[in-house]
């Protein structure tokens, strides 16, 4: 094992010890966004269109990690394509 790989494996083990779930299926941005979409739709009991989901991502993705976290933690309003609000 390389030193970098050893560090990565120890980090993964530590996170799993802290009850985080390792998701080997999430290997790229597309898989990460798909997982987020599934969780967001299930949590809010809705189905977003592709355009709505793209607007949602556009509204929350920023280089400021703290601002993104704040946006996700607080109630927000989102306008659906048909004009109805989503809270």
Query: Which domains, ranges and CATH numbers included, belong to the chain?
Result: 27-86 (3.90.640)
Predicted confidence (pLDDT) at residue 1 exceeds the cutoff of 70:
no
Q: For the chain, give percent helix, strand, coil, nearest 5.
A: 60, 5, 35
Cβ–Cβ under 8 Å, residues 75 and 87: yes
The interaxial angle of helices 65-73 and 50-60, nearest 10 deg, is 120
For the stretch 29-70, pLDDT in tens is: 999 999 999 999 999 899 999 999 999 999 888 889 898 888
Name the pLDDT band for 23 (thresholds 50, 70, 90): very high
For the stretch 61-84, pLDDT in tens is: 888 989 888 888 888 888 899 999
Q: Which residues contact 32 (CB under 8 A, 6 or more apart)?
A: 26
Model pTM score: 0.75
- Other CB atoms within a 10 A radius of the CB of residue 4 amount to 8
User: 85: helix, coil or strand?
Assistant: strand
- Smallest Cα–Cα separation from 56: which of 12, 35, 86, 30? 86
């Amino acid at each position: 094992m390389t030193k970098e790989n050893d560090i990565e494996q120890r980090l993964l083990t530590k996170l799993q010890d802290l009850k985080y779930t390792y998701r080997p299926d999430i290997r790229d941005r597309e898989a990460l966004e798909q997982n987020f979409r599934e969780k967001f739709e299930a949590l809010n009991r809705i189905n977003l269109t592709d355009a709505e989901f793209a607007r949602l991502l556009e509204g929350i993705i920023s280089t400021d990690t703290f601002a993104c976290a704040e946006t996700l933690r607080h109630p927000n309003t989102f306008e659906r394509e048909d004009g109805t609000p989503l809270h």
